[in-house]
Structures are given as structure tokens and as C-alpha cells.
């Protein structure tokens, strides 16, 4: 490695998303005395040959110069965070965050006052973790000023410089430390110095917005090494601090196992339910603690109310009735949580059949209408509603028949009550 941070590593040929638009943007900004590079997670993931979801760009050009250049090139600049040096540039309908090199002048644990600069090393040193501070020039050459490549090699998530100082700049970094460990480590123990700093700075979590905490939690629970990471958080007392209640780590681990067994991707709400929900009060607490979205709250409440009610022992007809009443999502939420909390293994064929039933069977629409009962003499009003509900109950119990004779009989009997 040279003094300027250049390495022998290269990401030339990386599968950048929207590569054509990115190249056009770099062609405008990386010239005429200014240097522009791809930075952060995109470089990290390119080196790991992992999917790259978005590309961020850093430049020596000040925001006004960025706006001037991209406007002249026919791109659309959007000043999304211009006071912190960030301009979102839309190229061929694709947005890229372009941020001027900077250094922190003042921080309060949530926000930073920055000054613009031209020093790539200084800019790298203000970032959170070594593996996130890599940058790559337009020709693919990778630059590393803080030991990120070595940590990437061993899959170690390590704060840049003094962990205590990094955390005090933004206490969300406590949660990001665990999230990145869950995503990029090999599943071992977190970096000891970083973990100790997170525990020491735990009171700073109270100053964070619940929305930011929610985002980190939801990403952490679905990460590849979420199980050992959450165990580490629980052992250090931080998981209780974040969730505000008891955690069911065995249930969470089993949820991960049954997901793998049936070949479905991790679902953050299902995993959060396995981790923190036993009764409805738990769902309500998590909603308040994390400011969950309404649909997330509804799913957790449904899981709390009904995970005990789904079981292979009740038989497939009962399961089909539940799918009809609940819908496939709520049924699956309850079934997977019930399986995770049962004594059955992840290879249990009966539970597998139960949990995957919505993939094989779609609930039909109740075929009888109000007109079917009115023509049989049922008056509009409460009596009509009662007749329809009674008929629907019988139809479900009969296994959702669709032949006309059976439907006529059900309508006749319900109309006579």
C-alpha cells in the first residue's frame, strides 16, 4: 500500500447497478482537477462478490461545483443534504448520492457539523467501520486508509480509531455495529473493544429516534448471522435495552431453522415476532418502542393472538378454514411461529405441510350472495346478515363445496332459521 492509500486490489469489472449511468456521472465529475470515487458499501460488497444494491459517490468537488457540472451535462441535481455536502444526482432516471469529502467539526451524538475538504484519508477516518471506508477510483483501483481490507479478509467489524469517540459522534453506530457484524462477520464474537464501547455508551440509545432504531433492528434480525449476534446483544444487556422486554432467543433460532427447511427468505416481522412476542402486550410494547408501521403491528398482534392455535394436530381442514379467515400472510405468520415454539424439529414433515399449505391451496370466494337469500324470503337487515354468516360457516365446515346442489342446500337451510 502506498502512502496515498492505493492498494493492489481492484474492483474493475464489478457489477455496479446502473453501470452505464454511473460511468456517465463519473465522467462528468472525475476530471478537470476534481477526483471522484465510488465509496463505502458498494466497494465492500464488490470485493466480497456480494450483491450491490446501491452506489454512493464521493468527490473533491464542492456541492456548488457538483450542481454546476451535472446540470451542464443534462443531469438532474436534487439538494437532499446539501448542508452536509450531499447532492442526489439523477442520471437516466437513476439516483446517485454524491457527497463532497468532509470532516466533522462538531457532533452531538445524533448530528454532525462538517467542513468540506479534499483529503481522502481524512474523509475515510470520519466513517464508522473500517470495512465501510474503502473507496475505488474510476479505473477500479481500491484505496484503504484505515485497515479495511485486512478486516474484510477476516470478516471483522471494527470501529475506525477510538470506538468510544465514533459512538459519541452518532449513537446509532451501536446498533450498526451489531447489524454489520450480523451481516458480514463469520458468526463469531463481535470485536471486543467495539463491544465494550457499545455497552459503555448504551445510554445514548435513548436519544435516538425510534424510526432509526426500527430500521436497524429490522435489518439485523434478517442478517445471515443474526442468531449469534443477538445472543451477544442479549448477553451484554443491550437487547433488553433496545426491545424493552424479554427476548426469546431459542424461538428466534428455531424460526431461522424452519425458514431454511421450507426454503423461504427471512421475514423481518416474523423474526421480530419470534424474538420478542409471546402475548399481545409484547406486540404493543414493540410497536411503541420501535414505532412500527401499522401493518407490522397488526401482524405481530395476530401472531400473539394465534400462534398457539395453528398445529398439524388440528388437521388440514382446520388449517384451510384458518387461511380463509385470516388470509395467507397471517396464517403463515402464525404457523411459522407455532412451529418455532413447538417441540418439533425443523425437519418435521407434518409441520412443513402445514406451514406451506398457502403455497398449494388458495382460499375460494364465498359463492353465495345476498340475492340468494332474499329470493328465499329473507328480509334485508339483520336477518339477512345473520343468514349469510350462518351459510358461510356451514360452507367452510363442509370443506368449501362449489357444486350447485350443495350450495342450494346450504342457502335453503340458512334461510329457514
Its sign, for the CA torsion 384, 389, 390, 394, is: positive
- DSSP-based three-state secondary structure for 133: coil
What is the pLDDT at residue 106?
57
Closest CA to 195 of 179, 178, 182, 208: 178
Residues β-bridged to residue 159: 129
The cell for 303 is: 401472531
Start-to-end CA span in the chain (Å): 87
How many angstroms separate the Cα of 281 from the Cα of each of 31, 304, 341? 59, 8, 18
What does the block give as the cell for 120? 481522502
Q: What pLDDT shows up at residue 112?
A: 56
Q: Which distant-in-sequence residues (6+ apart) come within 8 Å of 69 by Cβ?
A: 28, 29, 61
pLDDT tens string 189-214: 999 999 999 999 999 999 999 999 99
What is the structure's pLDDT at 1? 42
What pLDDT is recorded for position 71? 98
List Cβ neighbours of 313 (8 Å cut-off, separation of 6 or more).
none
Please list the pLDDT of the chain residue by residue as tens digits (417 residues).
444 799 999 999 999 999 999 999 999 999 999 999 999 999 999 999 999 999 999 999 999 999 999 999 999 999 988 888 999 999 999 999 999 998 766 555 555 567 899 999 999 999 999 999 999 999 999 999 999 999 999 999 999 999 999 999 999 999 999 999 999 999 899 999 999 999 999 999 999 999 999 999 999 999 999 999 999 999 999 999 999 999 999 999 999 999 999 999 999 999 999 999 999 999 999 999 999 999 999 999 999 999 999 999 999 999 999 999 999 999 999 999 999 999 999 999 999 999 999 999 999 999 999 999 999 999 999 999 999 999 999 999 999 999 999 999 999 999 997
pLDDT of residue 187: 87
**Planar angle of CA 199, 203, 209, nearest 5 degrees:** 115
Radius of gyration for the chain, computed over Cα atoms and rounded to the nearest angstrom: 28
pLDDT of residue 115: 86
Q: Which residues contact 208 (CB under 8 A, 6 or more apart)?
A: 110, 171, 172
Amino acid at each position: 500500500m502506498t502512502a496515498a492509500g492505493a492498494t493492489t486490489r481492484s474492483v474493475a469489472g464489478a457489477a455496479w447497478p446502473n453501470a452505464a449511468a454511473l460511468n456517465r456521472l463519473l465522467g462528468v465529475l472525475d476530471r478537470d482537477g476534481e477526483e471522484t470515487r465510488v465509496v463505502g458499501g458498494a466497494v465492500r460488497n464488490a470485493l466480497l462478490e456480494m450483491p450491490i444494491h446501491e452506489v454512493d459517490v464521493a468527490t473533491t468537488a464542492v456541492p456548488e461545483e457538483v450542481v454546476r457540472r451535472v446540470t451542464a451535462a443534462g443531469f438532474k441535481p436534487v439538494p437532499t443534504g446539501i448542508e452536509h455536502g450531499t447532492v442526489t444526482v439523477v442520471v437516466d432516471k437513476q439516483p446517485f448520492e454524491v457527497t463532497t469529502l468532509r470532516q466533522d467539526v462538531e457532533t452531538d451524538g445524533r448530528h454532525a457539523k462538517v467542513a468540506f475538504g479534499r483529503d481522502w484519508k481524512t474523509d475515510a477516518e470520519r466513517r464508522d467501520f473500517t470495512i465501510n471506508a474503502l473507496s475505488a477510483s474510476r479505473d477500479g483501483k481500491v484505496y484503504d486508509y484505515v485497515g479495511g481490507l485486512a478486516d474484510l479478509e477476516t470478516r471483522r467489524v471494527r470501529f475506525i480509531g477510538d470506538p468510544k469517540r465514533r459512538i459519541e459522534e452518532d449513537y446509532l453506530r451501536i446498533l450498526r455495529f451489531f447489524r454489520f457484524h450480523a451481516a458480514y462477520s463469520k458468526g463469531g464474537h463481535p470485536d471486543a473493544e467495539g463491544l465494550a464501547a457499545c455497552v459503555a455508551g448504551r445510554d445514548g440509545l435513548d436519544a435516538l429516534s425510534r424510526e432509526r432504531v426500527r430500521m436497524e433492528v429490522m435489518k439485523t434480525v434478517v442478517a445471515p448471522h443474526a442468531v449469534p449476534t443477538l445472543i451477544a446483544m442479549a448477553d451484554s444487556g443491550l437487547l433488553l435495552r433496545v426491545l424493552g422486554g424479554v427476548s426469546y432467543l431459542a424461538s428466534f433460532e428455531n424460526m431461522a431453522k424452519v425458514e431454511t427447511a421450507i426454503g423461504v427468505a427471512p421475514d423481518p416481522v416474523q423474526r421480530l415476532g419470534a424474538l420478542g412476542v409471546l402475548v399481545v402486550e409484547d406486540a404493543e410494547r414493540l410497536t411503541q418502542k420501535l414505532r412500527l408501521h401499522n401493518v407490522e403491528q397488526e401482524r405481530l398482534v395476530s401472531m400473539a393472538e394465534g400462534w398457539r392455535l395453528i398445529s398439524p394436530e388440528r388437521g388440514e381442514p382446520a388449517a384451510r378454514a384458518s387461511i380463509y379467515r385470516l388470509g395467507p400472510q397471517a396464517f403463515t405468520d402464525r404457523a411459522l411461529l407455532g412451529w418455532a415454539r413447538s417441540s418439533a424439529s425443523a425437519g418435521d414433515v407434518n409441520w412443513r405441510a402445514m406451514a406451506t399449505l398457502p403455497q398449494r391451496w388458495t382460499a375460494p370466494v364465498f359463492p353465495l350472495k345476498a340475492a340468494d337469500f332474499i329470493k328465499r324470503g329473507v328480509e334485508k337487515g339483520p336477518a339477512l346478515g345473520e343468514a349469510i354468516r350462518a351459510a358461510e360457516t356451514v360452507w367452510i365446515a363442509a370443506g368449501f363445496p362449489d357444486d350447485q346442489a350443495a350450495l342450494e342446500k346450504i342457502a335453503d337451510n340458512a334461510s329457514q332459521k
